[in-house]
Amino acid sequence: MKILVTGSAGFIGFHLTVALLKEGHEVIGIDNINDYYDVVLKYRRLNECGIRNKDIVWFKETRSRKYSRYIFIRMGLEDKSELMDVCERHRPDAFINLAAQAGVRHSITHPESYAQANLVGFLNVLESCRYIKAKHLIYASSSSVYGLNAEVPFSVRHSTNHPASLYAATKKANELMAHAYSHLYHLPTTGLRFFTVYGPWGRPDMASFLFADAIYSGKPIQVFNNGKLKRDFTYVDDITTAIIKIIQTPAQSNKKWDAKKPDPSCSIAPYRLYNIGNNHPVALLKFVKELENIIGKKAILEMRDMQAGDVMTTWANVDDLAENFDYSPGTDLRVGLANFVAWYKDYYSSKYISKSAMHGV
């Protein structure tokens, strides 16, 4: 298949791109390489895919020197004309939108960037898919949409009308926008609510990265709500495996959908929502303990109050994904964290990164 992946220099986008290429698919990658976090890490991911920094030019196609079926284009989704031109030129069989302004806490201090990237950008994605009559749009939503909902495990049939952050609100808006386009234009859309993804090449603002960095450097880890938080940590390979299963099965109309008792996970339109998680919440302090054991060094804990925008627990009900796609998260937390720490140590000791960043390791 020919697959367009936005956010292809991002954490999940990078892993998905590599997995698709290894399966023999053709990938058109798009990313604006913004500076929300270290751009060196983004360029390193691209380098791993055979895209050299010096070859990248805004709005120009860069062909991989490693994968003959990979083309990368630096651009933002806010540029509608450029995005539609790429879609018209390549006519992808599937469009996977992983590009977004991420971060719950960042959305509190930088709200405008979320409106542009997550609302305007996603509208342009929908318009581009409508224009080329895309066979399937898959897009990243988030477990954050469950907001103040306290009923666990979170089900795609639960209410998501009380977001706790602007980031969550934009992801909820994406789901509503996708449904409108599915209904109006019969565009098959599948929304994926990701649950606390971790693994090699992860973002520096993620828990595994922040905690490992603090342990190695001997700095305190800020533990919010005095450690009384649980997260459904999901290894990145389990995420990409699920996406690849879903790609070739576009969302379909549910003929049994009842408008008087509407199921929010599906519709009479070709629209579906799925959770992708580990289906096993882990206490934050246990997560830190596992990292301590793998690294071989104790963490310094600094207990803090609950942060604005945070939620107490995330826990994914993945029954629908298991039933429809035979999905089963298979990566144990110890294995996943060991893989992450091995990558972290290698990354910060590589020739691309100053050894002083290794904090003496």
Catalytic residues: 167
Q: Output DSSP code: residue 313.
A: B
DSSP 193-212: EE--EE-TT--TTSHHHHHH
Q: At CA 18, angle to CA 12 and CA 22, rounded to 5?
A: 145
Beta pairing partners, 294: none
CB 223 within 8 A of CB 304: yes
For 170, the token pair is 């934009």
Nearest of 341, 338, 84 to residue 215 by alpha carbon: 341
Beta pairing partners, 137: 95, 189
CB 95 within 8 A of CB 24: no
Q: Output DSSP code: residue 33.
A: -
Residues 6 or more apart whose Cβ sits within 8 Å of residue 272: 189, 190, 191, 251, 252, 265, 266
Return the sign of the alpha-carbon dihedral for residues 281, 210, 46, 354. negative
Nearest of 155, 320, 143, 157 to residue 249 by alpha carbon: 320
For 255, the token pair is 């003929």
3-class DSSP assignment, residue 189:
strand
Q: How far apart are CA 144 and CA 57, in angstroms?
A: 34
